[in-house]
Amino acid sequence: MKPNSSHSRNNAIEEHIASLIEKCTDMKTLRQIHVRVLRNPTLCSSTYTFSLSKILSFCALSPQGDIRYARRVFDAIPQPNVFSWNSMIRGFSQVQNQSREPIALYKNMLFSGFANPNSFTITFVLKACSKISALREGQQIQSHAYKYGLDSSPFVQTGLLNLYAKCEEISSARVIFGDISDKNLIVWSAMISGYSRIGMVNEALGLFREMQEAGILPDEVTMVSVISACAKAGALDLGRWVHSFVDRKGIRTDLVLSTALIDMYAKCGLIGRAKELFDEMLERDTMAWSTMIVGFATHGLVDDALKLFSWMLASKVKPNHVTFLGALLACAHSGLVGDGQRFWLAMHDLGIQPLMEHYGCMVDLLCRAGLFEEAYSFVSRMPFPPNPIIWRTLLIGCKKNEFQGKEELIADHLLQLEPLNAENYVLLSNIYALRSQWDKVSSMRKKMKENGIKVFPGCSSIEIDGFVHDFVVGDESHTEIRQIRVVLKGISERVRVSGHLPWTSSVLHDVNEEEKESALCEHSERLAIAFGLLKTSAPVVIRVVKNLRFCADCHEVTKIVSKEYGREIIVRDRVRFHRFVGGNCSCNDFW
């Protein structure tokens, strides 16, 4: 046979196989095609490789495919080309969201020497890195992109932007964003999402406005990122504006966007509006139900949370890990030990294996209810090693229940896991300070100094006129700090006249009482509340978001402020919402 006729024949076979696979609708048919290829002795090596790569592509990338079968096909290819490697990397990324297999495949590709990566390879593996927040590997892949001259590819640039945004390396993401000359909707959304992820709502909204000025019409994915930024910052006015923007522009409100709006209103303290949106939904998936349940739980509305859980089951919607997390949070915030244990058993009955967060909720529930020994025993029976959060919860349990027997043992576990986390040292110092054990407080401070550990400051934010203002303890940076301090002085005077005595035992310094009182007045939540009093008038609600748990003295002072100034104050701390009205708090002093 002449060479050209042989070549034509092979081309015809390749086209025929490609046509068969294109029409293929299931794995059974695909396996039949595969068998025909394997049994054809006349195929030359190139046609054989081409056929296997097409079969591989279907198995790895088609919704009807099978990634395990794809792996067997891939292993049978003597020298896989870049198309085959890309199919496997992309395929594993799609079906195993938390897998490191795509990264391992990429490394094997480089070591094999059979094929160099192209822009699609780099893009697919960067996406895999983003999904598991593999920053170090992603940075190495970025260097490979430069090495192979692929760094100018818009796909690679977008992949890098997504990686850095997901890993909260916002400065690196911003550099990549600036280097992209032709910014499309994916690009803008990724950068906005990066800002949203770390709670930089002013920057996210600013970029959103730039996007509109550039003539790029946002879609529902972009709006979810913007709304999430408002939710994290507790920026209700901005969130309302974004919601109205969605309505004005006719942006499709799908399930994800609707759920994001519910989450935003709940996290901004407007739980009633969140429930209205939930009730208006024509279709609700598990995440929508779970978001509403978690919203009720964080607001301390335990009856509403548990009733909604029952309604969800009656609606034949299967709960997931997030749903049970919300139910357990509701129980923890109200001390409902029996209900919490009932939900714990229900998880197992439904075949849902508890995650670390669920164990943490149960430990928190038991500790809050004063059942420290039960909590400690529960931790000792965990099927995997407790994380630092659980040990920290136990340590807080020691503090609240005044147990002195196990705190050193718990502290040892905690410091072994997180020897450089300032929060652990502060918590221990707090316990020692409450007992006036100043030598141990000094020892903690000495260890921190020796290890170069700096305390992460408490931060509180408040939205005024569409801009989020941040305050840290002892803040002097705000442009209106002098006026704020005048308000603070007025607060201190009215609180003193009301009969409140500052809880100075929580101040971690062996100094006089006057200095301790001054330190309490500098807490970030008080600065934010004072700024709210300065810039707004009743009936405007003062809404504050705090990154740490509410200070006990600040909590008591805020109750007094709400009564003395006739203002409703809502504070979202790291654990839950506190709604202060007329001298009372919605948490009933149980937090």
What is the pLDDT tens value at each position of the chain, 591 positions in all? 445 566 677 677 777 777 888 888 888 888 888 888 888 777 677 777 778 888 888 888 888 888 898 899 888 888 888 989 999 999 888 876 667 899 999 999 999 887 889 999 999 999 999 988 899 999 999 999 999 999 999 999 999 999 999 898 999 999 999 988 888 888 898 899 888 888 788 888 889 989 988 888 888 989 999 999 899 889 899 899 999 999 998 998 999 999 999 999 999 999 999 999 999 999 999 999 999 999 999 999 999 999 999 999 999 999 999 999 999 999 999 899 999 999 999 999 999 999 999 999 999 999 988 899 999 999 999 999 999 999 999 988 887 666 667 888 898 999 999 998 988 988 888 888 877 788 888 888 898 888 888 877 789 999 999 889 999 987 788 999 999 999 999 999 999 999 987 765 555 444 344 444 555 677 899 999 999 999 999 999 999 999 888 888 899 999 999 999 999 999 999 989 999 999 999 998 887
Residue 399 lies in a domain: no
Do 468 and 568 lie in a common domain? yes
Asked if the bond preceding 539 is cis, omega within 30° of 0, the reply is yes
Residues 307, 327: Cα–Cα separation, whole Å: 10
Q: What DSSP character marks residue 217?
A: P
67 within some domain: no
Q: Are 462 and 544 in contact (CB under 8 A)?
A: yes
- Give 112's contacts (C-beta < 8 A, 6+ positions apart): 80
Does residue 170 share a domain with residue 198? no
pTM equals: 0.81
In a domain, 432, yes or no: no
Do 91 and 164 have their domain in common? yes
Tell whether 202 and 233 lie within a shared domain.
Answer: yes
Residues 255 and 198 in one domain: yes
315 lies in a domain? no
What H or E segment, with its residue span, contains residue 546?
strand 542-546
- Domain endpoint, select from 254, 282, 310: 282
Residues 569, 467 share a domain:
yes
Instruction: Please identify, among 282, 314, 338, the residue that sits at the C-terminal boundary of a domain.
Output: 282
For residues 53 and 34, the answer to whether their CB atoms sit within 8 Å is no
Q: Is residue 377 part of a domain?
A: no
Q: Are residues 574 and 465 in the same domain?
A: yes
Measured distance CA(352)–CA(355) in Å, rounded: 9
Q: Supply the range of the domain harboring residue 101.
A: 79-178
H helix or E strand, kind and range, residue 579: strand 577-581
What order of strands is seen across the sheet that includes strand 577-581?
A: 467-472, 459-464, 542-546, 569-572, 577-581, 584-585
Whether 14 and 52 share a structural domain: yes
Domain boundary among 178, 211, 240: 178
Q: Are residues 167 and 197 in the same domain?
A: no
In the chain, the number of structural domains is 4
Classify residue 455: in a domain, yes or no: no
Same domain, 101 and 171: yes
Residue 550 resides in a domain? yes
Residue 392 lies in a domain: no
The CA–CA distances, whole Å, from 210 to 69, 206, 250, 430 equal: 47, 6, 20, 46
